[in-house]
Amino acid sequence: MQTNEPINTAPIQQFVQIVKSAEQTNQKEIRIPLVQAKNLVYTLTTVLANQQGRLEKLIVDNRSGSDEVVTVTMDGGSGWK
């Protein structure tokens, strides 16, 4: 589900701010309204699906038809300064 459209990450940023605020005031728990939690879940799911799509595209694009040959030449360090 990769998309090039910008993803609205405001719910994630709001959640991070809530957690930071709770930490600074030594709260033991946080509570958020169900609507806010649903928006957070939707945004996180969208971000993760987008990243998965990008990873799959990267793998497909970098897949070569044959095995890559790597040649290593050891010269004993000549030319080292």
pLDDT tens digit sequence for 7-60: 899 999 999 999 999 999 999 999 999 999 999 999 999 999 999 988 888 888
> Whole-prediction pTM value?
0.67
Q: What is the pLDDT of residue 2?
A: 58
Q: Work out the angle between the directed axes of helices 34-62 and 10-24 (0-180°, nearest 10).
A: 120
Residue type, 47: V
CA distance 45 to 29: 23
CA distance 9 to 5: 12
Select from 34, 33, 40 the least CA-distant residue to 13: 40
| Eight-class DSSP state of 43 | H
Tokens of 71: 């040649």
